[in-house]
Each structure stands twice: as C-alpha cells, then as structure tokens.
C-alpha cells in the first residue's frame, strides 16, 4: 500500500507531509517524556524486522493479487503508539530514499496511512479493548486480527480519498473503493495472524514489555535480550532469504488500480512529480530492492529467450534482494537508534 507520487497532487502531498510531520513531532515529544532509554534497542530491531517483513508479498488466492505486512499493529502492541509511529515513519523514509519504494511526494501520505491508523485508532480503541491485560493468547489473537483488519481498511480508504482529492480522474471513487476495500480485507486477516504470532512470542518471552506499552510506562529493568535476539534473527532470515519467495503478483493497490484504470502505474509530467522522481533516482542505490540494472538495450533474436527474460521466476533467488533486505534492515535500525539517542532525556549536571 505504498503510494507512488503520480497518485496524488502536489497540494495533497504537501498537506499530508505537514500532517505527518506534526504527528512525528508530537510522537517524538511523547517518547521523550517517557524517558525510556531501554526501549531504544527494541525500537531499532523492530524497525529492521518490519522493513524485512514488508519485502514479502503473499498471494491472495483467486484474485491475481498480493499483499504485504503493514506492521503498524505489531509496533503499537510492543512499543506503544508513539514509539510505533516513529518507527513506522523511519521504515518508510528509508524505503523511499534508498529503495524507491513509495514516492517522495507521497511519503507523507504513506506515513499517515500505514502509521496513524494502527497506532492511534486501531490499537487504543480496538486492540487494547479486546486484549485487555493480555492474559491469554486467544485474546491477543482475536484483538490482533480485528484491529489488523480495521487498520488496513482505514488505510486503504485513506488512499482512495487522497487520490480523489488529488483529482485522479482515472481512478473514480466508487469503482476504486469497491476494489480496494475487499482486497485489503483479505490482506488484513493475514496481517492480524502475523501480528498475533509476533506479539504472542513477546508475551511469552517478556509480558512486561506489552504491559509497559499499554500504559506508556518505562520497561525499566526488564531483560529484553531474548526478544531482541529473536527479532534480529527473524529480520535477517526474512530479509536475506525469505524475501526470495515474495509473490510476483501486483499488490492490493496496484491490482485495484489496474482493475479500475487498466494500468498498474500512472504517469505524470507535473514538474513537482518529475523533480521528486529525479531526486529519488539519485538517492535510491538499491531501487526496487535489487542492484541497479544495466540500461543498455538487449537484443533478442529468439522468442523463447525473450519470454524467459521477462517471465518472473519463483522463488527469485537474487543476491540483490538479499543485500537489500540486510542493508535496509541495518539502515532502519541505525536510523531509529539515532532518533532514540536524540530523544534521550539528559540528566542536568549537578552544580558543584
């Protein structure tokens, strides 16, 4: 559900940049007020895990579409809403700048759609009400699935509204929304199941972490090494190897666009879009999670060779994908860790 720049107008993109920047500033202040330095390593590792997990698209049966994990509910349940929003913003910034996943102009929209709804709507109003004190895996699973579905539905509907307000006539509201919502319902169920699995792992290993997140309290002296190690190993395995098994089908947004307009991608000659794309071409050193391809033309004299060249293989065992998963995870971890260090509350020096 990463929006491209061509889906939104500069006015909508700029407005959503302002909204997301305000939410980032607000969340940063709340995290700083919590004064929980022990949460910073957990934030970094979770950021790396979510980055890797978002690389894997899973097929939606009988649709020709695919979906990928959003991860907002995982972050909110383990970190609390404010730290979760900061981590999600960090993941999306790294993806847009260095991997050309999601447009730069659309970055504010993507942060809002994937971060705001799970952190500030689905988590406090749905997940917490159902999971309660998190005393059973059944309640955690129920809460994760319901909140995951609703969070994805709200995010998908927000995408539709942003394109409508941008005046994208190729994506009429009624048709677009009737395609976006059902496909993201299926994606939301998978999101909920994965969220339940990760949160249950943390609950069994260190339930104090979930309690601290629920009450915006400090982790204090809780030993988080087991959780951090487990998530770090998962991030490396998912980004470095399981990413080969990602579905080649278009994701839910691309699928809905194609069914609505006949195109998976829209083109724009707007100067703002062109400038943003030019910047992204320069900053993205692993575009589309792979090594930059040689742009020199290839001539095929055999039809079979041409078909083999364009036919996607599965699993796509590609060193570029593995490098992207590991490098992206490291960059996200470092970026989140830097933010955490900047937000540390320094104890005033005592006058001598």
The CATH number of whichever domain residue 59 belongs to comes to 1.10.1760.20
Instruction: Count how many domains the chain has.
Output: 1
The sign of the CA dihedral 5, 6, 8, 11 is positive
Centre a 10 Å sphere on the Cβ of residue 263 and count the other Cβ atoms it contains: 13
CA atoms within 13 A on the CB side of 217: 11
Residue 305 in domain: no
Q: Is residue 81 part of a domain?
A: yes
The helix-helix angle for 39-53 and 225-240 (nearest 10°) equals 20
Neighbouring C-alpha atoms within 13 Å toward the C-beta of 246: 25
Residue 266 within a domain: yes
DSSP conformational letter for 6: G
- CA dist 212 and 92 (Å) reads 25
The two structure tokens encoding residue 70: 């959003």
> Along the 352 residues of the chain, how does pLDDT read in single tens digits?
789 999 999 999 999 999 999 999 999 999 998 877 888 999 999 999 999 999 999 999 888 899 999 999 999 999 999 999 999 999 999 999 999 999 999 999 999 999 999 999 999 999 999 988 767 888 999 999 999 999 999 999 999 999 999 998 889 999 999 999 999 999 999 999 999 999 999 999 988 888 888 887 778 778 888 999 999 999 999 999 999 899 989 999 999 999 998 888 888 878 999 999 999 999 999 999 999 876 544 444 454 544 444 445 667 788 999 999 999 999 999 999 999 888 876 544 444 4
Residue 122 within any structural domain of the chain: yes
Contact 151, 198 (CB under 8 A): no
* 302 falls within a domain: no
Using the CB atoms, write b or e for 36-59: b if 16+ within 10 Å: beebbbbbbbbbbbbbbbbbbbbe
Return d(Cα 186, Cα 23) in angstroms, integer.
28
Which residue range(s) make up the domain with 199?
A: 5-286+314-342
> Considering the domain boundaries, does residue 348 fall inside one?
no
* Residue 297 within a domain: no
Q: Is residue 139 part of a domain?
A: yes
């Amino acid at each position: 559900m990463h929006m491209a720049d061509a889906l939104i107008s500069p006015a909508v993109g700029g407005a959503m940049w302002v909204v997301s920047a305000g939410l980032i500033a607000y969340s940063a202040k709340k995290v700083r007020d919590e004064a929980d330095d022990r949460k910073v390593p957990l934030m970094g590792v979770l950021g790396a895990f979510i980055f890797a997990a978002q690389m894997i698209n899973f097929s939606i049966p009988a649709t020709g579409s695919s979906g990928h994990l959003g991860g907002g509910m995982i972050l909110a349940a383990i970190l609390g809403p404010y730290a979760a929003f900061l981590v999600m913003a960090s993941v999306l910034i790294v993806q847009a700048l260095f991997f050309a996943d999601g447009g730069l102009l659309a970055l504010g929209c993507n942060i809002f759609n994937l971060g705001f709804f799970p952190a500030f709507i689905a988590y406090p109003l749905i997940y917490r009400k159902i999971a309660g004190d998190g005393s059973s895996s059944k309640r955690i699973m129920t809460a994760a699935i319901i909140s995951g579905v609703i969070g994805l539905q709200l995010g998908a509907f927000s995408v539709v509204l942003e394109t409508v307000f941008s005046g994208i006539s190729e994506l009429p509201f009624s048709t677009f929304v009737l395609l976006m919502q059902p496909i993201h319902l299926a994606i939301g169920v998978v999101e909920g199941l994965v969220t339940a699995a990760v949160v249950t792992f943390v609950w069994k290993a260190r339930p104090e972490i979930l309690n601290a997140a629920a009450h915006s309290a400090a982790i204090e002296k809780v030993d988080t090494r087991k959780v951090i190690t487990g998530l770090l190993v998962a991030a490396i395995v998912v980004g470095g190897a399981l990413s080969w098994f990602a579905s080649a089908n278009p994701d839910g947004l691309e699928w809905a666009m194609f069914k609505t307009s006949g195109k998976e991608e829209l083109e724009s000659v707007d100067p703002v879009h062109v400038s943003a794309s030019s910047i992204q071409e320069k900053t993205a050193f692993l575009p589309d999670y792979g090594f930059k391809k040689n742009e020199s033309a290839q001539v095929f004299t055999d039809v079979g060779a041409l078909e083999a060249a364009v036919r996607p293989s599965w699993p796509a065992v590609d060193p570029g994908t593995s490098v992207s998963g590991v490098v992206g995870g490291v960059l996200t971890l470092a970026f989140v860790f830097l933010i955490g260090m900047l937000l540390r509350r320094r104890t005033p020096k005592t006058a001598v």
